[in-house]
Amino acid sequence: MKFASTALSAAALAIAALAASPVQAATIVNLNGVTNASLNGSNGVTLNLAAGTYSLSFVKDVYTAFTRFSAPTGCDGAGMNCSQGWENSARYIIGGTTYLFGDGAASGGIGPLGVGDGYYSSEALSFANSGGYLDSFTLNSAGAVTFYLYDDFLGDNSGGVSLSVAAVPEPATWLMMFIGIGAIGGFMRRKRVTRIFRHA
């Protein structure tokens, strides 16, 4: 009985720790290639986030990739290394400092890094190569983070990017969760063994 009480207490602590984390599910930020593009983030999407560490990645949601050109040009046979084309890039601002994320370090006019100085021939190909871009940032206190696309001439832009912003649980939260799960598992195993002995 004492073991059961301990298991339930540990489980309750784990649940409380998880509930106290800033964000339980990822927040999706959809950035349109026209309405959310600027040179300074003035048209960006702002999230007010709690203190903590957050992961950042591209996801398939409303958008998969965007282009700042009217048509892809200069692509190689694999549809990569284009002089103009599709990309997955974004910028975000925390406390007045701008951070770059994705193809060409989101600088515009450079294109995807790691594949060459160029863009992709299609939206699908660009997104297929965006999985390698992962980033994280830490807020020491609650604050605003603004996400945007970097460009100044918007008349020929198309598409956009969707970003996943997810809170990373603190190590203590993971520890409490594992303790709670382990305690419940141990309690269930002990209960099953006791039943076996009763029926023997």
pLDDT digits (tens, 9 = 90+) for 90-142: 999 999 999 999 887 445 554 555 544 578 999 999 999 898 889 999 999 99
Spatial separation of the C-alpha atoms in residues 148 and 161, rounded to whole Å: 9
DSSP for 73-95 reads BS--TTS-SBSB-EE-EEEEEET
The pair of three-digit structure tokens given for residue 150, joined into one six-digit string: 């970097």
pLDDT in tens, 67-98: 999 999 989 999 988 888 999 999 999 999 99
Give the percent of the chain with pLDDT over 70. Answer: 66
User: Which sign, positive or negative, has the C-alpha torsion 27, 160, 143, 105?
Assistant: positive
The radius of gyration computed from the CA coordinates of the chain, to the nearest angstrom, equals 23
Q: Identify which has the larger pLDDT, 189 or 167.
A: 167
pLDDT bracket for residue 190 (50, 70, 90)? low
**CA-to-CA separations, 145 to 16, 96, 159, 198, in angstroms, rounded:** 27, 10, 22, 60
- Token pair of 184 as six digits: 């419940």
Neighbours of 33 (CB within 10 A): 21
Write phi, then psi, for 166 (nearest 5 degrees). -125, 135
Helix (H) or strand (E) holding 176: helix 171-199
Mean pLDDT, range 172-188, rounded to an integer: 50
Q: Which pLDDT band, with edges at 50, 70 and 90, does 18 fall under? A: very low
- Mean pLDDT of the region 39-51: 96
Average pLDDT for residues 41-60, to the nearest whole number?
97
Give the CA diameter of the chain: 80
Read off the pTM. 0.73
Cα gap 136→117, rounded to integer Å? 25
User: Using CA atoms, how far apart are residues 188 and 68, in angstroms rounded to an integer?
Assistant: 58
Q: Which range is least confidently modeled, 20-29, 143-152, 184-193?
A: 184-193
- Measured CA to CA in angstroms, residue 26 lies from 34, 166, 183 at distances of 24, 4, 28
Query: What does pLDDT average to over the chain?
Result: 79
The predicted structure's pLDDT at residue 174 = 36
pLDDT higher than 90, residue 147: yes
